[in-house]
């Protein structure tokens, strides 16, 4: 009898063990599938860095976090991507300050014209104490900032004439994104600003709807704007960078260990992108010059001197206190 009574107990224990392990297997099999959107071309360093990030996250989470990348504005314009990240419809994105300042005005001060000496200077500014200011502001709006990636110093191109001094830009119809810093900078030089969606820029240039546009060297090269533009002037008028961020709603789904992996691999991918952008800039220029584009390297002092109206308008948009605070970070980084 004792043996008979033991049989149901053993069966019950076996069943419990089976269902426990079945549950663990099911949990282990669950994969978090995430969407990663950005606006860089597939060949652009931003997409190469995004691929590195996704591959390393997949490897280090043992396949538990799978990231699908949507480059080249596939999931919407840059502003639309930012809004979808805030709402949780897109999990990860690369936004510039031009998108983020629609939610947090303080971000707009990063794009003040002609305030940085070089890449090293701007990296010290953005990787330094300014992050402790920006990151909590972004998180309140639904963005968890991971790390600074790259985009670059912006330069002018056009089909009319070389721009060697601010007056040379007068009357040129220049396309800019819908970002006040870029618009007022071009206007301070006397250009006529036209807003055209980025996917339409190449055709707008080819059909002479506008005379020119402004973007970093890598964007001009990888989007082949040199095919439909005669002149480039290395004005380096404004710097902005891609910032990798995760939707706050998605961040809450990650384990603490996965969050650490995201931060570490984001930093690694961002460093990789920075190296690509900086190391390839001169070779990209040489290739475009070989294909017939005329490259000018003007003295930037007169351009900087013409920026009074732009500083005033950006200051009103950003808030004077935000400008003052950020410029202290800029000057402190310059002393190092």
pLDDT tens by residue, 136-174: 999 999 999 999 999 999 999 999 999 999 999 999 999
The pTM (predicted TM-score) of the whole model is: 0.89
CA angle 37, 180, 309 (to 5 degrees): 155
Q: Where residue 29 falls among pLDDT bands split at 50, 70, 90? A: low
**Mean predicted confidence (pLDDT) in 84-104:** 97
pLDDT at 16 over 70: no
pLDDT at 213 over 70: yes
Domains and CATH numbers, the chain: 2-151+241-281 (3.40.190.170), 153-239+283-326 (3.40.190.170)
User: For position 25, what pLDDT does the model report?
Assistant: 43
User: For position 1, what pLDDT does the model report?
Assistant: 46
Between the alpha carbon of residue 113 and those of residues 100, 281, 285, 304, 335, the distances in Å are: 18, 20, 22, 8, 20
Q: What is the CA radius of gyration of the chain?
A: 25
Residue pLDDT, tens place only, 223-236 = 999 999 999 999 99
Distance, in Å, from the CA atom of 218 to the CA atom of 216, rounded to the nearest integer, reads 6
Distance, in Å, from the CA atom of 313 to the CA atom of 174, rounded to the nearest integer, reads 19
The continuous run of DSSP H or E covering 308 comes out as helix 308-318
- Residue 318 burial (10 A CB sphere; 0-12, 13-18, 19+): buried
The continuous run of DSSP H or E covering 58 comes out as helix 45-60
Average pLDDT, the chain: 93
DSSP 185-233: HHHHTTPEEEE--GGGHHHHHHTTSSSEEEEEHHHHHHTTGGGS-SEEE
Q: Up-side HSE of residue 214: CA atoms within 13 Å toward CB?
A: 35
Between the alpha carbon of residue 317 and those of residues 16, 37, 134, 180, 323, the distances in Å are: 64, 28, 17, 8, 10
pLDDT at 7 over 90: no
- Residue 10 burial (10 A CB sphere; 0-12, 13-18, 19+): exposed
Cβ pair 221, 282 in contact under 8 A: no
Between the alpha carbon of residue 302 and those of residues 29, 162, 184, 251, 309, the distances in Å are: 62, 15, 16, 46, 14
Residue pLDDT, tens place only, 178-201 = 999 999 999 999 999 999 999 999
């Amino acid at each position: 009898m004792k043996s008979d009574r033991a049989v149901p107990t053993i069966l019950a224990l076996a069943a419990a063990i089976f269902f426990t392990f079945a549950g663990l297997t099911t949990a282990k099999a669950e994969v978090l599938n995430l969407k990663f959107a950005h606006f860089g071309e597939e060949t652009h360093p931003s997409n190469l860095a995004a691929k590195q990030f996704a591959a390393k996250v997949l490897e280090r989470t043992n396949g538990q976090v799978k990231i699908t990348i949507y480059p080249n504005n596939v999931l919407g314009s840059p502003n639309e991507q930012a809004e979808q990240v805030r709402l949780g419809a897109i999990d990860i994105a690369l936004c510039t300050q031009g998108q983020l300042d629609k939610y947090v005005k303080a971000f707009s001060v990063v794009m003040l014209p002609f305030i940085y000496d070089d890449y090293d200077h701007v990296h010290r500014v953005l990787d330094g104490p300014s992050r402790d200011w920006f990151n909590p502001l972004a998180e309140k709006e639904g963005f968890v900032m991971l790390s600074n990636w790259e985009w670059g110093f912006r330069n002018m191109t056009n089909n009319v004439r070389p721009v060697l001094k601010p007056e040379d830009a007068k009357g040129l119809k220049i396309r800019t994104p819908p970002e006040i810093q870029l618009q007022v900078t071009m206007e301070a030089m006397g250009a006529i600003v036209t807003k055209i969606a980025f996917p339409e820029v190449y055709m707008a240039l080819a059909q002479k709807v506008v005379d020119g546009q402004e973007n970093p060297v890598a964007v001009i090269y990888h989007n082949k704007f040199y095919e439909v533009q005669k002149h480039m002037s290395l004005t380096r008028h404004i710097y902005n960078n891609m910032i990798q961020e995760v939707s706050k709603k998605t961040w809450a789904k990650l384990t603490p260990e996965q969050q650490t992996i995201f931060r570490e691999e984001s930093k690694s991918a961002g460093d990789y992108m920075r190296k690509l952008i900086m190391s390839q800039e001169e070779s990209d220029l040489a290739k475009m010059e070989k294909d017939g584009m005329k490259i000018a390297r003007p003295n930037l002092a007169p351009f900087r001197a013409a920026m009074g109206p732009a500083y005033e308008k950006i200051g009103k948009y950003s808030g004077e206190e935000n400008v003052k605070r950020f410029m202290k970070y800029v000057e402190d980084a310059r002393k190092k």
